[in-house]
Structure 1
């Protein structure tokens, strides 16, 4: 739209107006912004009236002039109504925006003025007695005091006693006598819940033995421990288990507790040497000689069909250094471990009931 100061005014003179210069477009398509009042100027009316009198005579011109003026006024009125509607809509939008800004400003002021109440840790400790195991993470995110409660030994001890069942078959390290110690208390309670708590037991049963994301999950993982175990069976020859304990890339032992800034008095409760670790368990039909790979980084993991077309073939490539971004996989070089034929492959997290945890946990 043209600025207010730059609006042009229509200037008419009675001597300049004739039948050729005055057209219907001067009335129907006139810009309301140019003629703000929306009425026909007096100079135009006089010029048209004079022209009509000269052509048709005084008596005949009265009706014609009134008709022209009435039609022009009607057209101007319609245009003004439409312009008024548009201006009203714009005013409504402006009022809505202003109300929204005021509302947001009031909200901001109220949020800044009211900081809320802070409840003592004892109240959060009482409320934690009614929290389900799957809601511990949500409860810890409420506030800092709620998170502090989840760090205490009392919280994990009560959680264990609430779901303990004498009929459940628990390993010795997860029995009530072993739970009484402070060190690794959190890890032991979490492992025991996968034996005692039914929703967690169902979750374990639904997890596939080897998820589809296993190659990506184990990529650039460091092999902390490797051992071979003989599994007696009904067959004349026994099966063998090859166990590879991997740690996620970028983690160190007890690194999780330090990164979360656990209070110093509760560091023993959160200690877990198996945190962020996986166990890759490969069961073969016979013994296979494998090189020592402890301390090396896994750069390639593949599972193919065995040569007898009845079993699987597992191939691992480990190197001294992790695989850098942008480089190709380390197919060549490094230490290769080929297991063929393979009976089964399992990948277990540290909290899995079949995970062989360390003696301290």
Structure 2
């Protein structure tokens, strides 16, 4: 019986090892990370000895084989020791070379950021830009943005889409568009009469929005007027119009704003910029308080009490709400329109938006 605690060792047979079992890691050019001890296993030595005997016919000359194995093992150990000694120096040199390469690559990348093409080339390319892609084109580079500021760009855009049979208001006819002042605003308004994708976008707007618009909050009421609509409908229709100015009190100071060239300031003038009109049509006249100069704090659109129409509720306050502060439940001037036939929100470029006489 084997003694207690004695482990049975597995016997290694030299016949079980063939030439394919001897790997490169067993020789002098082995990787120090793989073979850290620098010692060759006895089983490997025996396998190598048998292979050398069979290949060289040295079965009888045992001493010669021992000399070969001794020299091979010595060379293997020496290579490992020399590689371990040279490893820190090689690592230092490789790190220094890597830093130099990264620095050189960074300098080359800074020097070759790209080619800057003149404004004339971007002006030629702008002749093939669709109206809906003007914003994307202006964001390509600074020179492309400068092109979109020029009067030539907006004049060419108008001429490309103008038709003689187009039903344009007098203020959007070619004679008026030739003026430099408010040229950009006139061309944009004209495109909603001339350019089919824009006209379809306006015609597909439903009479009642699917959700309550929230973009009007903190907008200042510039004008407010009521007019009676004449039509074939049996019941009278009254139109309540609120001209609102979107106020931006919380601009990000870190954002970099490009200054527009001075020679094109008149081209981009627009008295109705950031303005929109809320048009609410009711079935009868409703008395409303004066809210001009006040800020819209609440806008709700829900079903009327008769379940057949809608109800609009507007709450105006004297000052805009600070960011993060909720509106008080009580206070402010309230405007309730009920029953409501339609609600339309029109930006300054809409064909039915009241055109400013200064533009």
Shift of the alpha carbon at 1:27? 9.6
Which residue of the partner structure matches residue 37 of structure 1? Answer: 39
Please say which of residues 348-357 and 179-188 is displaced more in the overlay: 348-357
In structure 2, distance between residues paired with 1:305 and 1:274: 32
Root mean square deviation, CA, Å: 3.4
SS where residue 323 of structure 1 aligns? coil
In structure 2, distance between residues paired with 1:245 and 1:338: 17
In structure 1, distance between residues paired with 2:174 and 2:354: 19
- Residue deviations 1:260-304, cap 9 Å, x none? 421111111111121222211000111111111111111111122
Is the Cα–Cα contact under 8 Å of residues 215 and 300 in structure 1 kept in the other structure?
no
Bigger proportion of residues as helix: 1
Which residue of the partner structure matches residue 142 of structure 2? Answer: 144
Q: 1:25 to 1:213 in 2, by over 3 A?
A: farther
Work out whether 1:360 is the aligned partner of 2:332. Answer: no
Shift of the alpha carbon at 1:329? 3.0
Shift of the alpha carbon at 1:214? 3.8
How do residues 174-185 of structure 1 correspond to structure 2 at under 5 angstroms?
Answer: 174-185=172-183
Shift of the alpha carbon at 1:106? 6.8
SS where residue 270 of structure 1 aligns? coil
Which residue of the partner structure matches residue 282 of structure 1? Answer: 280
Is the Cα–Cα contact under 8 Å of residues 279 and 348 in structure 1 kept in the other structure?
yes
Work out whether 1:261 is the aligned partner of 2:259. Answer: yes
Gaps of 5+ in 1: 1-17, 42-97, 253-257
Which residue of the partner structure matches residue 73 of structure 2? Answer: none
Is the Cα–Cα contact under 8 Å of residues 212 and 300 in structure 2 kept in the other structure?
no
Is the Cα–Cα contact under 8 Å of residues 125 and 155 in structure 1 kept in the other structure?
yes
Q: 1:138 to 1:185 in 2, by over 3 A?
A: same
Gaps of 5+ in 2: 13-33, 44-94, 251-255
1:350 aligned residue (332, 338, 348): 348
In structure 2, distance between residues paired with 1:209 and 1:106: 63
TM-score with structure 1 setting the length: 0.69
SS where residue 217 of structure 1 aligns? coil
Q: 1:27 to 1:205 in 2, by over 3 A?
A: farther
How do residues 92-111 of structure 1 correspond to structure 2 at under 5 angstroms?
Answer: 108-111=106-109
Which residue of the partner structure matches residue 120 of structure 2? Answer: 122
Work out whether 1:220 is the aligned partner of 2:218. Answer: yes
SS where residue 319 of structure 2 aligns? coil
How do residues 121-270 of structure 1 correspond to structure 2 at under 5 angstroms?
Answer: 121-212=119-210, 214-235=212-233, 238-250=236-248, 260-270=258-268
Which residue of the partner structure matches residue 6 of structure 1? Answer: none
Is the Cα–Cα contact under 8 Å of residues 208 and 342 in structure 2 kept in the other structure?
no
Q: 1:205 to 1:111 in 2, by over 3 A?
A: farther
Shift of the alpha carbon at 1:22? 6.0
- Residue deviations 1:193-239, cap 9 Å, x none? 11111122222233444444544211222112111122112245531
Is the Cα–Cα contact under 8 Å of residues 278 and 349 in structure 1 kept in the other structure?
yes
Work out whether 1:23 is the aligned partner of 2:25. Answer: no
Work out whether 1:298 is the aligned partner of 2:300. Answer: no
SS where residue 266 of structure 2 aligns? helix
Which residue of the partner structure matches residue 271 of structure 2? Answer: 273
In structure 2, distance between residues paired with 1:177 and 1:214: 40
Q: 1:132 to 1:22 in 2, by over 3 A?
A: same
Shift of the alpha carbon at 1:120? 2.2
